[in-house]
A and B are shown apart, each in its own frame.
Chain A
Amino acid sequence: MIDVVMLTVVGVLMALAIGLVVKYFGAKADPLAEKLGELMPGANCGGCGFAGCGDYANAMATGKAKPGNCPSMSDDTLKKICELLGVQAEKGEPKVAVVCCSGDDHHTTRVAFYNGVNDCLNAMMVAGGAKGCTYGCLGLGSCARACPFGAIEILPTHVAKVHPDLCKGCGKCVSVCPRKVIKLVPRAAAAVNVYCNSPEKAPVKKKVCSGGCIGCRKCMKAAGENQILINGFLASVNYENPPAESVTEVCPMKCLRKAD
């Protein structure tokens, strides 16, 4: 019995001691930054350009950053934060990640058997990966592991797929993809995308992938002026002036597709 009483007494004394130390010697945190920190989404995705949510909250409290850079913040939260800071709300253009590759197992060739470390950069450093195309998605899921929102899925056919409803456009996947296949594009204009990343000539591309852009320019002719840009043998959507969805019907390779 005595031991329980002793422990309880010691516990209470300790708690008091800690409380007093915190009260009189504790570091003074900026109350504004603390309030902001509580409102932050807490995903620590780094999409704002700071090390994490706390860092961004501190920067906003000290006036070094403006609210609205956070890609994963809801409009309500943004409003609250703006009220706290007493500034006008200015939300950045919402973005979404797009995996610009059609090279799943049905389309691209497989040239080697890779059984090394399950990471895209690792695979790329061993003879350029196991897939025939050296520009496409390696399908080992470095992006999926890096995504703080679980928005990227590696399909069973070994290609990454972004779920746009989950994607907040923070760009973490873009920074880890060794092939730079993932692009961050304006969400409002991302209805139609070119799912190919290879700048190679059409015959080279066709040898390794049956779903790559061959640069035939049919889409450019079908779309309005300056809606589709052709760079060498690779078409790309002009996201400032996006084409209508119907343009996807002309693509013979089916690599100009509606966002899935």
Chain B
Amino acid sequence: MITQIRFYGGIHPSEGKVSNKEDIINAPLQELYTVPLQQHIGAPAKMVVQKGDHVLRGQLLGEPGGFVSAAVHSPTSGTVKDVTTCLGPAGATLPAVVIESDGEDKAADPLPPFENWQDADPAALKARVGEAGIVGMGGATFPTFVKLSPPPNVKIDTIILDGVECEPCLTADHRLMLETPEKIVKGAQIIGRILGVKRIIIAIELNKPDAIETMTKAAEGTGVEVAPLVVRYPQGAEKQLIYALTGRKVPSGGLPAAVGCVVSNVGTTAAIYEAVCLGKPLYERVTTVTGTPVVKPGNYRFRVGTLYRTALELCGGVSEDPAKIISGGPMMGMAVYSLDIPVMKGTSGILLLSRDELVQYSPSACLRCGRCNDVCPMSMMPGILSAQIEHQKFELAEKWHVMDCIECGSCAYICPAGRPLVQHMRRAKAVVNAKKRAAAAAAAAAAKK
């Protein structure tokens, strides 16, 4: 039995998980898929097909463009209609491949399934995770292959499966745990085999009692533990989750591997199982489509490249004009202005807000009430940081650990002055990162001379 340690800060926003009773529906085949070549953190994938090529489902469209990168596969069989660009949820234009479906949905089998993964070479299993283009499906889209390659001097002793789904409104992971628990447990054991780790914990919050029950039953006799956790946002953030379960603190600027932990989302884990045991690359995922304006909120298994527009049509359309469209959940999702954005490997949800729900704040001056300090799970001081950033004191903000911000939004949620605190942090992080990149480039140029 695992005792939960309460991490500092955090909030409990209203959960709004209206779609948690809806079964996962497999979205029907579409005519067109716009598959972006960058669905992950790191270098974009290098395209390996050409306009006019015929491709099969699961065939490689782009190979990894570097060490921190991921492969991209075709969601269905058909022809490459166009090589173009598409809009990403963060507003950037991404290189993309448009696949016109031939309706046959014929599968290519580039990855032979492992018959006996229990005895397979861990390196081969890890290579498979890379070949299948698996990335962190909780939203950060960090390539899983890289996550499973810790530096040699680091000893990993605990694998944590993130089934917390602390983000309000989203229910994709919840339904996945209810419907395919055995995939998640086996996927977890595969990660254990790759890293040579015995201790595997599945973390689930207590607002999902059915998932806790199902997962406990599926994990019986496998040595995988299920840890029920008292609800608290942002418990699904890896640093907070590691602390809640093990009491270890990830050092500032460090990765979970530094304290011997690897955290993997349950969706990612199921994808690892499918890649290893079924030979299926990552080209579809479960996404929650929800919000008051949506006629039929639910959980859908979309192929990567399905446009938001199509996704909404599959949910019966909208009953009123949405005032805001959010890619992801309400706390950490990104507002988008277009429905011509494709579902990607990291799209955990599509949330629509009606005009009544949308509150327009006009930020005022900081009241110095300190509530943001109370809720910041990284123990930062968002109020003071935001003032520094407003006055462009980015070096000072860096000294005050702005780079530790996980952008969970707890501070902005609690702020009585309606200050856009997270937006300030994001700007400071972008400026500091740009400066670091420029310094690294200058150093590289100097070394060349």
Tell me which of A115, A119, A128 has the highest count of chain B C-beta atoms within 10 A of its own C-beta: A128
Which of B335, B362, B424, B431 contacts A126 (CB under 8 A)?
A: B335
User: Is there an interface contact between A127 and B89, defined as CB atoms closer than 8 Å?
Assistant: yes
Instruction: For B338, list chain A residues within 8 Å (CB).
Output: 111
Question: B336 — nearest CB in chain A belongs to which residue?
Answer: A127
A155 → B minimal CB distance (Å)? 23
Contact between A117 and B424, CB atoms less than 8 A apart:
yes
Please tell me which one of the listed residues A122, A129, A130 contacts residue B427 in the complex, with CB atoms under 8 A apart: A122
Chain A residues with Cβ below 8 Å from B427 are: 117, 119, 121-122, 125
Q: Which of B152-197 contact A (CB under 8 A)?
A: none
Which A residues are CB-close (under 8 A) to B337?
Answer: 111-112, 127, 130
* B contact residues, range: 20 to 34
Note all chain A residues with C-beta closer than 8 A to B89: 127
Contacts of A116 in B (CB 8 A): 420, 423
A213 to chain B, nearest CB (A): 18
Residues of A126-140 at the interface with B, using a CB-CB cut-off of 8 Å, are 126-130, 134
Q: Is A124 an interface residue (CB 8 A)?
A: yes
Instruction: Decide yes or no whether B91 CB sits under 8 A from chain A.
Output: yes
List residues of chain B with CB within 8 A of the CB of A111. 337-338
Q: Are A122 and B90 in contact, with the CB atoms below 8 A?
A: no
Asked if B81 is an interface residue, CB under 8 A from chain A, the answer is no
Complex formed: what's the CA distance from A206 to B77 in Å? 34
Which of A115, A117, A125, A134 sits near B93, CB closer than 8 Å? A134
Please give me the residue from chain A that is nearest to B431 by CB atom. Answer: A121
Contact with A along B84-100 (1 / 0, CB 8 A): 00010111110000000
Say what secondary structure dominates the interface of chain A. loop
* Chain A residue contacts of B360, Cβ below 8 A: 115
Q: Please indicate which of the listed interface residues A117, A119, A127, A130 has the most CB atoms of chain B within 10 Å of its own CB.
A: A127
Mark out the residues of chain B between 49 and 82 whose CB falls within 8 Å of any chain A CB in the assembled complex. Answer: none
Shortest Cβ distance from A132 into B: residue:
B337
Bits for A88-121, please: 1 = Cβ < 8 Å to B, else 0.
0000000000000000000000011001110101
Main secondary structure of the interface of B (DSSP, over half): mixed
Check: B426 CB closer than 8 A to any chain A CB.
yes
The reply to whether the CB of B334 lies closer than 8 angstroms to some CB of chain A is: yes
Measured CB to CB, the nearest residue on chain B to A112 is B337
Query: B2 contacts the other chain (Cβ, under 8 Å)?
Result: no
Residues A127 and B423 in contact in the complex (CB < 8 Å), given A111-B338, A112-B337:
no
> What's the least CB distance linking B95 to chain A, in Å?
13
Q: State the CA gap A112–B90 with chains docked (Å).
A: 14
Give B425 Cβ to nearest chain A Cβ, in Å: 11
Q: Kindly state the separation between the CA atoms of A122 and B426 in the bound complex, as whole angstroms.
A: 8
| B residues near A122, Cβ cutoff 8 Å | 423-424, 426-427
* Chain B proximity of A232: nearest CB distance (Å): 14
CB distance from B172 to the nearest CB of A (A): 22
Question: Are B91 and A124 neighbours in the complex by a CB distance under 8 Å?
Answer: yes
Task: Mark out the residues of chain B between 348 and 397 whose CB falls within 8 Å of any chain A CB in the assembled complex.
Answer: 360, 362
Complex contact A117–B430 (CB within 8 A):
no
- Highest count of chain B CB atoms <10 Å: which of A111, A121, A129, A130: A121
| Nearest-CB residue, chain A, relative to B89 | A127
Interface residues of B in 396-433 (CB under 8 A from A): 420, 423-424, 426-427, 430-431
What are the residues of chain B within 8 A of A130 when measuring CB–CB?
Answer: 337
A-B contact pairs, 8 of them (CB 8 A): A111-B337, A111-B338, A115-B362, A117-B423, A122-B426, A125-B427, A126-B335, A129-B91
Give A contacts to B, CB under 8 Å: 111-112, 115-117, 119, 121-122, 124-130, 134
B residues neighboring A (CB under 8 Å): 87, 89-93, 334-338, 360, 362, 420, 423-424, 426-427, 430-431
Can you name 16 extra interface pairs (CB under 8 A) apart from A115-B360, A127-B90, A127-B337? A111-B337, A111-B338, A112-B335, A112-B337, A115-B362, A117-B420, A117-B424, A122-B424, A124-B91, A125-B423, A126-B423, A127-B89, A128-B87, A128-B90, A128-B92, A129-B91
